[in-house]
Amino acid sequence: MALKKSSKYGTDFLKENMMGPNSIKILEEMAESLKIEKGMRILDLGCGRALTSIFLAKEYDVTVFATDLWISATENYERIRSMGLEDKIIPIHAEAHDLPFANEYFDLAICVDAYHYFGIEENYLTDHFAPPVKKGGQIAVAVPGLKKEFTDGVPAELQPYWIEDMSLTLHSRDWWYDLWKKSDSVSIQECKELNCLEDAWQDWLSCDNDYARRDIGMMEAEGGNYYNLVSIIATKS
């Protein structure tokens, strides 16, 4: 698929800062269903090394609050400043259950490749992710997932690579839809499988780090049979 905006970013810069499947390709595809307008305030939760925040600020001329727990605000600020975006991106160090934002502060909230670590909790969306978004604003999440739930246990070919928490975090599109449907805070706009799965994963597997190298065998064993990228977009009620 042709993702023109994300293709402008240098391979070296991306490979140096990716923490999983190429997040800006995932975001660009997801953005086709988002109303992003100049000057918006956007929450980028679980932003990692702020690639998605940089992409949003550069491509859409918005203000982004780049929020992460694992990467310090100072480290992200240095990266943001190197891109000349210090007036557009505010780095925040925060845990997902303790977000330091006013209610109804953001026009849009996104979370790419991180929501599955905390958003699997039944009340997370209602209690934590939806409150900072304005009524009528959008909430958009993309997560690694499964084509369908493993009702008979983890397939044998995946078991050598399976980490215990993956059974908690990896779910199907239908599972995520059913979870979000329980929330009175949002109305679901779309819940779908993203087309950029193969491209986003290939970019990650070509990175020179131990985590990416560890995933090569897993993706070869998976063979396109089980994994998915799930996008879910909702409007704040």
Each residue of 177-188: pLDDT tens digit? 999 999 999 999
pLDDT digits (tens, 9 = 90+) for 121-142: 999 999 999 999 999 999 999 9
What pTM does this model have?
0.96
Query: Is the distance from CB of 146 to CB of 165 less than 8 angstroms?
Result: no
What three-state secondary structure class fits 190?
Answer: strand
48-57, 204-213, 225-234: range with lowest mean pLDDT: 204-213
Q: How far lies 149's CA from each of 21, 114, 136, in Å? A: 21, 19, 32
Q: Which residue type sits at 49?
A: R
Over residues 20-38, mean pLDDT: 97
What pLDDT score was predicted for residue 99? 98
Over residues 48-71, mean pLDDT: 97
Name the pLDDT band for 116 (thresholds 50, 70, 90): very high
Over residues 100-106, mean pLDDT: 98
HEC string of 147-181?
A: CCCCCCCCCCCCHHHCCCCHHHHCCEHHHHHHHHH
Biggest CA–CA distance in the chain, Å, is: 51
- Side by side, the strands of the sheet bearing 106-112 are 89-93, 63-68, 41-45, 106-112, 133-146, 227-236, 186-193
Calculate the average pLDDT of the chain: 96
Residue 65, sorted as left (phi over 0), alpha (psi -120 to 50) or beta, turns out to be beta
pLDDT beyond 80 at 2: no
Closest Cα to residue 3, out of 150, 157, 198, 193?
Answer: 198
What pLDDT score was predicted for residue 164? 84
Alpha helices per DSSP H over 18-154: 23-31, 51-60, 73-82, 124
List of residues 6+ apart from 122 with CB closer than 8 A: 179, 182
CA distance 48 to 68: 6
pLDDT digits (tens, 9 = 90+) for 159-183: 999 998 899 999 999 999 999 999 9
